[in-house]
Every structure is written in C-alpha cells, then in structure tokens.
A and B are shown apart, each in its own frame.
Chain A
Amino acid sequence: DQQVKQNSPSLSVQEGRISILNCDYTNSMFDYFLWYKKYPAEGPTFLISISSIKDKNEDGRFTVFLNKSAKHLSLHIVPSQPGDSAVYFCAASEGNNAGNMLTFGGGTRLMVKP
C-alpha cells in the first residue's frame, strides 16, 4: 500500500518553461512534506519543504503547493534549466511522534531540454 505516490514516472519540458511535478498521499496523519532531487550514484539533495499549516512555500525558482483537502502537493520549477534534469522525490512525515521517518514516493524523472 503506497502512501505517497508520484503517478508520472517521467516528465520532459523545454528549457525556460515551467516544470510541474505532482505527488499524492493517502495518509491523513502526514503533516510535513519535502522534495528531494537525486542524480545517479548520489544521495538525494534537499530542495524545499512545507508544513501542513501552510499551502505554499517558495525558495528561489522552486515553489511547493499543498492542497490538504485533496491530499496533493506539487513542485513548480520556474524557469526550468538543463541542470534540473534529475529524479525528483516527494516525501512525507507524520510529525513529531514519527521522528524523522520519511515515506517517499516512487520518483519522477525530469528531463529539461535545451
């Protein structure tokens, strides 16, 4: 039973355009969400996070949106750059009682074409 799902295994966008990566979750106890970027043979790199008390968080070119009623979050990258090509994972946490235990989605491979 996958509690965090990234339904698009891959996404291709043109350089300079917006990339939108989506993530759905089923566990209503999740209250903290993170996005990571991963290159092959490297560990995931933290990008941005959002708490369930917010519906939007921005950091430079990256914005995460959270829709709690739909149990859906998305990561927007604007403008997309070729260096953004990587696998993106969303992750969720149940809060302080769960410590730092993260549940990850399966990942979306983003390809940004020059």
Chain B
Amino acid sequence: KAGVTQTPRYLIKTRGQQVTLSCSPISGHRSVSWYQQTPGQGLQFLFEYFSETQRNKGNFPGRFSGRQFSNSRSEMNVSTLELGDSALYLCASSFITGNYEQFFGPGTRLTVL
C-alpha cells in the first residue's frame, strides 16, 4: 500500500507570496492532519480534516488554511508569507479520527526569502 505523499518536496518563496501544499493520504484513510516543524518550536499541530470538514485547528494565524476533497486529498495554503513560515510542513493520515495511529508523509520543506 502506498504511503502518504506530499508535493512539492521543496519550495522557495519570497515574503508576501502565497503557497499551496498538497497531501495524498494512504488509500482508505479519511483523516488528514497538518503539522509544522521548526527548530525553535518543534512539531506543532496546524489543523485536521476529516470527511472534508475541519475537525480541529491549532494556534496559528488565519493566514494558514486548508481544505480536504472528497477523495480525502488535502491542501494547505499559507498567504502573505513571512520569514518565520520557513519550516518543514508534514502531513499525516489516519483511518479515522480520534486516538488512532497517524502515518506521516516525507514533508514539504518551505523556505521563505
């Protein structure tokens, strides 16, 4: 069974631009969560989507948004990029929501110049 895939793997943007990252979950998984990893803050939860609905949202500004499609694929968008948005963005999929193992993709490395 194929794992979680994320595209693109690397991205370079400049301040003020916007970016869209994509995540394809493991086949049959309906929950997709997004995390941000930085050296200073570690791994932090952004949001979770389950059956096309946002289930939970972490403590991030409104510039960070996401959505999920009927095939469970998910996208996250960051608008008006700031230097501090440079991070590894990880997507995780799970069969269902709530106390269930999550499997992570390889991540998208975003660099904001």
Q: State whether the Cβ of B97 lies closer than 8 Å to any Cβ in chain A.
A: yes
A41 to B50, CA, bound (A): 27
Chain A residue nearest to B43 (CB atoms) is: A104
Q: State whether the Cβ of A96 lies closer than 8 Å to any Cβ in chain B.
A: yes
What's the interface size class on A, roughly?
Answer: 20 to 34
* Smallest CB separation, B80 vs chain A (Å): 25
Give the A-B contact count at a CB cut-off of 8 A.
78
The answer to whether A46 touches B106 (Cβ under 8 A) is no
Q: State whether the Cβ of B63 lies closer than 8 Å to any Cβ in chain A.
A: no
Q: State whether the Cβ of B7 lies closer than 8 Å to any Cβ in chain A.
A: no
Partner of A93, one of B43, B58, B99, B106: B99
Q: State whether the Cβ of A99 lies closer than 8 Å to any Cβ in chain B.
A: yes
Q: State whether the Cβ of B33 lies closer than 8 Å to any Cβ in chain A.
A: yes
CB-CB under 8 A from A101, the residues of chain B are 33, 45, 48, 55-56, 58
Chain A residues at the B interface, C-beta cutoff of 8 Å: 31-32, 34, 36, 41-46, 49, 51, 89, 91, 93, 95-107
Chain B residues at the A interface, C-beta cutoff of 8 Å: 4, 31, 33, 35, 42-45, 48, 50, 55-56, 58, 90, 92, 94, 97-107, 109
Please give 6 more A-B residue pairs, beta carbons under 8 A apart, in addition to A41-B106, A43-B105.
A46-B103, A99-B33, A99-B97, A100-B31, A100-B94, A102-B33
